[in-house]
Amino acid sequence: MLEKLPDALGHALRERRAGLDRTAFRLVDLRAGMAAIRVHSLAFADHAPIPARYTADGPGLSPPLDWTGVPAAARSLLLIVEDADAPTPQPLVHAIVVELPAADGSFAEGALKSPEHEGDERLRMGRNSYLQVAWLPPDPPPGHGVHRYAFQLFALEAVPAFGHAPGRDAVLDALREHAIASGCLIGTYQRPDGSIALPVRQPAAKRVAP
């Protein structure tokens, strides 16, 4: 969707970003004195670029993920993926998955349902920011610079009674009440500038005497 926006708009919004401080991982701060979950991906390293295969510029599959270090007191896990650099007041939600088993585990490539892929029907997904119960592939505006996508996994001491397809607000409320551990993997993605080119200044022509 956003790939069709002109580069000029991306440049104009370049300084407008939600910010990492507004992601769930920062809002529900469990890093001090709490267990830490380690989140990894075979597709990219922490703070490294996400391959185009997992974005709107490719097939748009959800990337593979795995996690370890889930505490014994956990009763369920919850995943929320957010774009910390979206030009919006709050981070853009790309996926929510609730009621995951409280154990070390993994997602295969394409496990999350998307408009083009069926995904794993056993997963209970929430709503992304486009109100779809699906994985929303990274799709930053051209010219807006590097975007950071936070794959945030939380361990909860309970299995919250979410309604159908919970959104970000319901997830944050549940995390504030029940989260006991968390982990975060950040992948980056950037669309190169395509249509804005700075004019090349030609040297002044020398005047030749007649």
85-129 per-position pLDDT tens digit: 998 899 999 999 999 999 999 999 999 999 889 999 999 999 999
Q: Does the pLDDT at position 13 exceed 90?
A: no
pTM metric for this prediction: 0.84
Q: What pLDDT is attached to residue 200?
A: 36
Residue carrying structure tokens 């889930």: 70
What is the pLDDT, as a whole number, of residue 79? 98
| Residue 32 pLDDT class (50, 70, 90 cuts) | low
- Asked whether residue 1 carries a pLDDT value surpassing 80, the answer given is no
Assign residue 19 a region: left if phi > 0, alpha if psi is -120 to 50, beta otherwise? left
Written as six digits, the tokens of 192 are 């190169």
DSSP-derived letter for residue 86 is -
Phi/psi at 189 (5° precision) = -155, 145
Q: Say if residue 105 is exposed, middle or buried (CB neighbours under 10 Å; 0-12, 13-18, 19+).
A: middle
Stretch 140-165: mean pLDDT: 94
> Looking at residue 204, what is its pLDDT?
44
pLDDT of residue 31: 66
User: How high does pLDDT run on average in the chain?
Assistant: 86
Does residue 141 surpass a pLDDT of 80? yes
The model's confidence at residue 210, banded by pLDDT at 50, 70 and 90, is very low
| Strand residues in the chain grouped as ranges (E) | 35-36, 38-40, 48-49, 65-68, 76-83, 92-100, 105-107, 124-125, 147-156, 179-189
By DSSP bridging, strand 48-49 and strand 179-189 are parallel
